[in-house]
């Protein structure tokens, strides 16, 4: 007879890993053939309060608007139409606001989304924590792919905006 363990597992996902995995899973809902991105907003109690992925605006046909990245006329590309994951997560939130929340994003936010995250009431600290987490994940990935350890740690970088957050 096998012995049943009465102890909890030691190897389980920590909250940040879990929420990032939710973002990556949600990104699979995107119809974009080039970039599948999602965002997961979490409150201080580790409850998901919003999820969104990149896609066309509500009510607009995914089949009629263009998905290409380049064209002679910019209106024939996806860029004037696609709503980013961060925007959709904020618009899909199930709470009054996202003040004090943390956003996990499957891709580093563009400058417009970074401004939106800050304007929604996330403190600079939350936005910087997100950025540092993503930078660290990227740095860890680069370290694992290369013998050259050019990136030591985001804390060693001299970016005043990150230090003030």
Residues 33-87: tens digit of each pLDDT: 999 999 999 998 999 999 999 999 999 999 999 999 999 999 999 999 999 999 9
pLDDT surpasses 90 at 25: yes
- Report pLDDT digits (tens) over 72-83: 999 999 999 999
Write down the pLDDT at residue 41: 92
Residues 19 and 109: their CA atoms lie apart, in Å, by 16
pLDDT at 27: 94
Helical axes 111-119 vs 124-145, angle rounded to 10°? 140
CATH for 34: 3.40.140.10
Task: Choose among 59, 98, 100: nearest CA to 81.
Answer: 59
Residue 8 placed within a domain: no
Question: For residue 6, is it within any domain?
Answer: no
Q: Give the residue from 91, 94, 85, 84 showing the smallest Cα distance to 42.
A: 94
**43 within domain boundaries:** yes
Q: What is the pLDDT of residue 95?
A: 80
Q: What is the pLDDT of residue 2?
A: 64
Task: Flag whether 72 is in a domain.
Answer: yes
What residue numbers bound the domain in which 136 lies? 15-163
Asked if residue 44 is part of any domain, the answer here is yes
**Residue 99: band (very low, low, confident or very high) from pLDDT cuts 50, 70, 90:** confident
Write the DSSP symbol of residue 147.
S
Does 25 fall in a domain? yes
Q: Is 9 domain-assigned?
A: no
CA distance 52 to 55: 9
Q: Which residues are catalytic?
A: 86
Q: Mean pLDDT lowest for which of 58-62, 104-108, 149-153?
A: 149-153
Number of domains in the chain: 1
Residue 73, in any domain of the structure = yes
């Amino acid at each position: 007879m096998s012995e049943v363990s009465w102890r909890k597992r030691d190897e389980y996902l920590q909250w940040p890993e879990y929420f990032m995995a939710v973002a990556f899973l949600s990104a699979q809902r995107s119809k974009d053939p080039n970039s599948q991105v999602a965002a997961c907003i979490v409150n201080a109690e580790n409850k998901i309060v919003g999820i969104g992925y990149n896609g066309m605006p509500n009510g607009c046909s995914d089949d009629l608007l263009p998905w290409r990245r380049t064209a002679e006329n910019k209106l024939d590309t996806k860029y004037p139409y696609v709503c980013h994951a961060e925007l959709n997560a904020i618009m899909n939130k199930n709470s009054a606001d996202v003040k004090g929340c943390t956003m996990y994003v499957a891709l580093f936010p563009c400058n417009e989304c970074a401004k939106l995250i800050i304007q929604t009431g996330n403190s600079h600290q939350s936005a910087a924590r997100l950025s540092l987490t993503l930078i660290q994940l990227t740095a860890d990935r680069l370290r694992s792919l290369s013998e050259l350890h050019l990136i030591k740690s985001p804390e060693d970088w001299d970016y005043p905006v990150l230090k003030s957050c």
